[in-house]
Amino acid sequence: MGDIEKLKITIDRDECIGDSLCCNEAPETFEMDDEDKAVVLETSTDDRDTILEAARSCPVDAITIEDKSTGEKLCPED
């Protein structure tokens, strides 16, 4: 099992432009839905670094990731 259970991942569907870079970087964590918007899969074998790199690849910063245990915002960086 990957690190997805340790992370709170939110996708702003209004901001998502559907370029699927996150899916390319972390295909076990993200996929495109019928509206060509990214969604988070319930289970993932991707590790934390892979998931964070995928979120950072989003050109519009539509993906927010927080550490569940600390509440620290990991992505996007301010």
Query: How many domains does the chain fold into?
Result: 1
What's the CATH code of the domain at 58? 3.30.70.20
**What pLDDT score does 1 carry?**
59
pTM above 0.85, yes or no: yes
Max Cα–Cα distance, the chain, nearest Å: 34
31-68 pLDDT, tens digit each: 999 999 999 998 899 999 999 999 999 999 999 999 99
Which domain, by its residues, includes 22? 4-75
By CB neighbour count within 10 A (0-12 exposed, 13-18 middle, 19+ buried), where does 12 fall?
middle
